[in-house]
Structure 1
Amino acid sequence: MNKSAILFILSAAVGVAMMGLGIIWPLIPVYAVELGAGGFLVGLIVASFNISRTLLSPFSGPMSDKWGRKRFIASGLLIYAVLSVFYVLPKNAETLILIRLLHGTASLLVVPVAMALTADIAPPQKLGLYMGTLNMAIMIGLGFGPAMGGIIRDTLGFNVAFYIMGGLAFITSLMVAIFIPSDKAHLSHIKRLKPYPIRKIMVHRTAAGILIMRFFAASGQGSVYTFLPILAMKINLSSSQVGIILTMNIFLIAFLQRISGRLADRTNPKHLIIAGTFASGITVLSMPFVHGFIPILILNILMGMANGISLPGGLVITARLGQTMGMASIMSLNDAAWGLGFIVSPILSGLILDWMGVSCVFIVGSLLILLGGIAVTVFLWNYDNSLRTAD
């Protein structure tokens, strides 16, 4: 099987699995309230998925670098499917927290390892294109999922949404198990170096710049995705308008992944990261100062474009570092930095909302994104695309 076919199957499998995850994304808070959870428990249930991902990321990546890719991805998707049945069983919110923790752990076996496999098979001159293609599949899946989840819940009920998530995960597990060749069959040409220790990766100048940027960007962007409905209430937007705004934001990110990936292959990716991160921060800063559906929609379109430009560049640099540091090791840390940002974001933004109001949530969120832009500019200032690294 050629590399393009492997990329297509892997993208389809991960994209469909993420669609299943997206289906339950907007339903979890409602489900938690129905189980009797208060505000703190609802936040903990939502965050617990990323808590386990963040805590266990330092271990899952090195394990995949040692033991291979295919078995991790297929196993993770199969565990997804099993856990989907568990979602319908809880009688209290505390049990739901445990299931979310396990679900987050299973996710570590899928997306970061799929990213590592994509980087493994990508031709050197098409690294950005390959990474952008997989990320596009992930974003499209997550973008379609929430809309489907709302329709399924309204027409068929909560339990059916979880069963559909499980069915999609099971189908994609079979796709990977049957159609993706074994690691020995198509990765035998790759020289497996001993993965860097986590500490050594985190103190590497370029890697540290990417990880810091990912954390701050997630912390700031999470403010938009979490609290835009509250800002919308303040300016009298409807729920359907909010849905359109967020959908446009996410789908523009997805649409630009392959285009920006090609551009990252042909230029120095650091310029895309820096430009996109600063542009994203400026658009978020503007959101509380405009009124009406069209201005907010335009700003979210610009935010989606900015993030769509920056993401592939970060993945290209991360993949190039992974060729010597351990591909899954650094991809897992990259994922952990993003997850940690989405743990911090709802907690910090909630406190700011209580103390200073929703407008300040977006102002602080924008400042966090801009801090990420400053960090990546400083740390990647000497990054030379031809040398692939900067010490």
Structure 2
Amino acid sequence: MNEERLQFWSLYLSRFATGFGFATLAVLIPTYIRVLQASEFMGGLFITGLTLAQTVVVIPLAWAGDRHDKKKVLLAVLGLSVVAYVAFANVQQIGGFVAAVAASLFGLELSTNVADSTAFIGVRALQGAAVTGSGLMTLSLVGELADHGERANSIGKANSVRFLASILGMIIAGGLYQFVGFTPIYTLIVVSFALGIAGVWIYLPADETRRYGNPFAGLALNKRIITLTSFRAQYAVAVTVVRSWVAIFVGVSAASGGLGYAELAVSFVLVAEKLTNMLCQPFTGRLSDSYGRSLFVFAGGGAYGLVALAVPFAPGIGAALGLPATYELIVPPLLGGSGEGYSLLGTLGPAFVPLLVINGLLGVVDAFREPASMALFADEGADEGGIAASFGIRELVWRPGSVLGPVMAGWLWSQYGIETVFYVGGAFAVTGALTFAVVLTHFHGRGALTEW
């Protein structure tokens, strides 16, 4: 394996570790809601804690990446990730500490579920900072290493590795939690980060590119960046809400508007989106390199919103098709459970297969959008003086929607039912795509949708 390939794969390994940990938490969020006895509003804050931290750290991390050695910044955030996942394994102990501090310093008597939920939100914030730093640095370094004409393809490969990690993380979390609890799962995550740190340390050379001044200022007025952000600001609401609430919809009880499926069933539904996205991205990345990237952003974004609208109809679709209510996946008594065996999937309903298909379609349509969008940001950053700053703007524009979206969704869930979350989320994706087409035509002409 040549030196250049080892450099790419050290970055892919870092994205693998980050995706593995992030996906594990995506599956376990409904479990934490149950275990910590969190309210619907607190469930929304479980998502917001992560996204709010991501918003705060974007600018300083992007500046550090352009001004200093991106390799060192990446190693630092990978180390921070290890701290976060060790804390997840001990979140209830941290909750006890939070309750003690609140009582001694402020005279507040927090209930156990409030203290534990507050601790979980804090650890999610730590995770958010680490995830953002890892994403910014790995994508920036991939963008710098790749040739211009192969940039979307290289980014698509990096994303596919992340999706592979997500698939493994979801299956492992959903399958093992029922038998071993949280701690062994987080041990696997920490080991994956240790391997990622070793790969970056050994194979990735020091980053010698330096960008002085404030690259954010120039890029903020770049017409192509403005065009992309007109779409991305709205799309952030859609993706954050839909991805998060698919897991919640599948995993929480019927009393809360969900389906109450077991953790492994939640994993299978989420894996469907990751698997199709992983398989499609290298191919769609090559297509966007050849045929123009803006068309892929518009079509993929708009289609995502339309498919998201179908999620609440999955139970009705399954019932109309006469699909079975149970799908048995039995563990023999020797391996777990007792009596005749233990059903890993638990009790399912006719919605299970339609949800697999719908979430798989969400992965397909998003695979058209993501590598094209990332390559456009990388192009502008490389040309205008700060690739980390360009990806930083990309992240920063995402954050208002990803912070406010879950809060809005938690409120919609509590007031109008969980179905409305998907209707509103889907609408944001459609309006974002339409806005993108209008702004693109205004700034770059009618042919820009197929030329840019």
Whether TM-score is above 0.5 comes out as yes
For residues 199-223 of structure 1, the C-alpha deviation after alignment (integer angstroms, 9 at most, x for no partner) is 5433433212323422322311333
Displacement, 1:353?
A: 2.7
Alignment pair present for 1:217 and 2:231: no
Partner residue, 1:318: 377
Partner residue, 2:25: 24
Partner residue, 2:185: 161
Aligned ranges for residues 227-242 of structure 1 at < 5 Å? 227-228=245-246, 238-239=261-262, 242=266
Partner residue, 1:262: 286
Give the alignment partner of residue 147 of structure 2, picking from 123, 139, 144.
123
Q: Is the 8 A contact 1:153 1:161 kept in 2?
A: yes
The 1:86/1:301 distance shift into structure 2, 3 A limit, reads closer
Partner residue, 1:291: 317
Question: CA–CA distance in 1 between the matches of 2:229 and 2:87?
Answer: 33
Give the alignment partner of residue 107 of structure 1, picking from 108, 111, 131.
131
In structure 1, give the amino acid aligned to 2:26.
Answer: W
Partner residue, 2:56: 55
For residues 69-101 of structure 1, the C-alpha deviation after alignment (integer angstroms, 9 at most, x for no partner) is 111111211221133323314124233333332
Displacement, 1:287?
A: 3.5
Partner residue, 2:359: 300
Displacement, 1:149?
A: 1.5
In structure 2, give the amino acid aligned to 1:308.
Answer: A
Question: CA–CA distance in 2 between the matches of 1:152 and 1:231?
Answer: 21
Q: Secondary structure at the match of 1:26?
A: helix
Displacement, 1:6?
A: 1.4
The 1:127/1:235 distance shift into structure 2, 3 A limit, reads same
Question: CA–CA distance in 1 between the matches of 2:18 and 2:172?
Answer: 13
Aligned ranges for residues 186-201 of structure 1 at < 5 Å? 192-194=210-212, 196-201=214-219
Displacement over 6 Å in runs of 4+: 234-237
Question: CA–CA distance in 2 between the matches of 1:96 and 1:78?
Answer: 19
* Higher radius of gyration, 1 or 2: 2
The 1:296/1:142 distance shift into structure 2, 3 A limit, reads closer
Q: Which moved more, 1:133-142 or 1:88-97?
A: 88-97
Displacement, 1:315?
A: 0.6
The 1:25/1:242 distance shift into structure 2, 3 A limit, reads closer
**Residue ranges of structure 1 left out of the alignment (5+ in a row):** none
Alignment pair present for 1:366 and 2:390: no
In structure 2, give the amino acid aligned to 1:333.
Answer: I
Aligned ranges for residues 136-147 of structure 1 at < 5 Å? 136-147=160-171
Q: How high is the TM-score relative to the length of structure 2?
A: 0.76
Identical pairs, percent: 20
Question: CA–CA distance in 1 between the matches of 2:235 and 2:3?
Answer: 35
Displacement, 1:252?
A: 0.9
**Residue ranges of structure 2 left out of the alignment (5+ in a row):** 97-114, 319-350
In structure 2, give the amino acid aligned to 1:79.
Answer: L
Q: Is the 8 A contact 2:160 2:281 kept in 1?
A: yes
Question: CA–CA distance in 2 between the matches of 1:67 and 1:235?
Answer: 47
The 1:301/1:269 distance shift into structure 2, 3 A limit, reads same
Displacement, 1:369?
A: 0.3
Query: Once superposed, what is the RMSD of the aligned Cα atoms?
Result: 2.8
Question: CA–CA distance in 1 between the matches of 2:177 and 2:261?
Answer: 20
Question: CA–CA distance in 2 between the matches of 1:212 and 1:195?
Answer: 26
For residues 187-238 of structure 1, the C-alpha deviation after alignment (integer angstroms, 9 at most, x for no partner) is 6xxxx44464535433433212323422322311333323335656679695
Aligned ranges for residues 369-384 of structure 1 at < 5 Å? 369-381=429-441, 382-383=443-444
Q: How high is the TM-score relative to the length of structure 1?
A: 0.87
Q: Is the 8 A contact 1:129 1:262 kept in 2?
A: yes
Alignment pair present for 1:275 and 2:299: yes
Partner residue, 2:337: none
Question: CA–CA distance in 1 between the matches of 2:356 and 2:35?
Answer: 32
Q: Is the 8 A contact 2:58 2:132 kept in 1?
A: yes
Question: CA–CA distance in 2 between the matches of 1:325 and 1:367?
Answer: 35
Displacement, 1:109?
A: 2.5
In structure 2, give the amino acid aligned to 1:150.
Answer: G
In structure 2, give the amino acid aligned to 1:72.
Answer: V
Q: Is the 8 A contact 2:173 2:185 kept in 1?
A: yes
In structure 1, give the amino acid aligned to 2:78.
Answer: L
Q: Is the 8 A contact 1:194 1:326 kept in 2?
A: no
Question: CA–CA distance in 2 between the matches of 1:107 and 1:276?
Answer: 24
Question: CA–CA distance in 1 between the matches of 2:22 and 2:304?
Answer: 25
Displacement, 1:314?
A: 0.2
In structure 2, give the amino acid aligned to 1:299.
Answer: I
Displacement, 1:138?
A: 1.6
